[in-house]
Amino acid sequence: MEFTLGQLAQLLEGKVEGDETQKVSRLDKIQEGKPGGISFLSNEKYEPFIYQTEATAVIVSEGFRASKELKTNIIRVKDAYLGFTALLEAYAQFTKSALVGVEEPAYMDSSSTIGENEYRGAFSYIGKNCQIGQNVKIHPHAYIANNVKIGDNSIIHSGAKIHAETQIGTNCEIHSGAVIGADGFGFAPQADGTYKSIPQIGNVIIEDNVSIGANTTVDCATMGSTIIKKGAKIDNQVQIAHNVIIGENTVIAAQSGISGSTEIGKNCVIAGKAGIVGHIKIADNTTIGANTGISKSIKKSGETLFGYMGMDLKQFLKSYSIFKNLEDLEKRLKELEKKP
């Protein structure tokens, strides 16, 4: 889609300085701007680029005064950053909602229902007795098994797999290759050294406004539900085991893993590659550093943990700085031992 600068200025409640009939169809970084693109200048550090950019237009804030001649058009708004963000969101919203219709062949069992403004991509699969809301976008190769519920405005990306009995709220986004509701890892050791599979009959509940990253796995509960509460944001390649509960607005970065039956509080931030053992509770507002291992419950709200076995961040950094020179420390000890 293409817009004239005049149209955009109207949308952003700003005014054009330059040729308002020119058209843009793309959002560019100011340092990489090309004809047909529109950029923004908010941080002063980037000001030099506005005199060089090839972008057709740049959004600037009210107070901006050019110190050299400008080759680009400008749209002057109250706050350039907010203006650009508004544009970004309008763009994303437009792209998303424009996707409507059914591409054939798509498979949907006749016992399932889907609301208005649906998109179902080619090779998407919807099993029996599913209830799917309005404005839901089911991309190509998405798999939705039996008895699944999906709320309004949710997006299931290409190749995401939603297993039977899963419930997904409104405004959720399940990214490509994510697997929701596969069997939990439950095996009972037998006397002869073999393992017997424990049937996993629970499900997964994903509340509203949740995002699940690409190739992330969320296992179904052994019984009951694995629950991702509203507003939680989960990155790519995260593993969430059976019967885990993730609190509201908790953020988990890529490649972290949460073992079975652990309960994470709300508003926690868990950095990449963290590992959390099973059957513990993590208090609200906990921050867990990258690559950190947590083996015990965290009872106090607001702590920041770090390191191989999850300790207080400051203490970890002190210990680690000594660890880096342990050889020196040992030498000093040797010196003392030599003393008579």
Give the footprint of a second copy on residues 151-170 (CB under 8 A): 157-159, 161, 163
Name the residue nearer to a second copy (CB basis): 16 or 38: 38
The contacts of residue 82 (CB under 8 Å, 6+ apart) are none
Stretch that binds a second copy, among 4-12, 47-55, 59-67, 187-195 (CB under 8 A): 187-195
| CA distances from residue 247 to 120, 228, 270, 277 in whole angstroms, order as listed | 31, 7, 12, 17
Window 212-231: contact mask with a second copy (x via CB under 8 A): -xxx-x-x---xx------x
To a second copy, the closest distance from the beta carbon of 65 in angstroms equals: 25
To a second copy, the closest distance from the beta carbon of 291 in angstroms equals: 5
- Interface residue with a second copy, options 13, 62, 103, 116 (CB under 8 A): 103
Based on the shown chain and the rule CB under 8 A, indicate whether residue 112 belongs to the binding site for a second copy: no
Alpha-helical regions (H) of the chain = 5-11, 47-50, 80-97, 313-323, 326-338
To a second copy, the closest distance from the beta carbon of 67 in angstroms equals: 25
Q: Are 38 and 55 in contact (CB under 8 A)?
A: yes
- Interface residue with a second copy, options 46, 115, 185, 303 (CB under 8 A): 185
To a second copy, the closest distance from the beta carbon of 188 in angstroms equals: 9
Q: Which residues pair with 228 in a beta bridge?
A: 206, 246
Pairwise CA distance, residues 155 & 210, whole Å: 11
Number of residues written out for the chain: 340
Name the residue nearer to a second copy (CB basis): 51 or 187: 187
Q: Are 250 and 264 in contact (CB under 8 A)?
A: yes
Window 251-270: contact mask with a second copy (x via CB under 8 A): x-xxx-x-x------xx---
Q: Which residues pair with 204 in a beta bridge?
A: 226
Based on the shown chain and the rule CB under 8 A, indicate whether residue 325 belongs to the binding site for a second copy: yes
Q: Annotated catalytic residue: which of 139, 157, 163, 242?
A: 242
Name the residue nearer to a second copy (CB basis): 113 or 295: 295
Q: Which residues of 13-26 are buried (b: 16+ CB within 10 A; e: fewer)?
A: ebebbbebebebee
Nearest to 143 by CA among 156, 134, 128: 156
Tell me how many residues contact a second copy (CB under 8 A): 96
Based on the shown chain and the rule CB under 8 A, indicate whether residue 236 belongs to the binding site for a second copy: yes
Pairwise CA distance, residues 26 & 337, whole Å: 71
Window 16-45: contact mask with a second copy (x via CB under 8 A): -----------xxx--x-------------
| Residue 143: exposure state from Cβ atoms within 10 A (0-12, 13-18, ≥19) | buried
Based on the shown chain and the rule CB under 8 A, indicate whether residue 52 belongs to the binding site for a second copy: no
| Token pair of 166 as six digits | 């899963």
Q: In the annotation, is 242 catalytic?
A: yes
Nearest to 74 by CA among 134, 12, 124: 12
Based on the shown chain and the rule CB under 8 A, indicate whether residue 51 belongs to the binding site for a second copy: no
To a second copy, the closest distance from the beta carbon of 20 in angstroms equals: 23
- Give catalytic residues, as residue numbers: 242
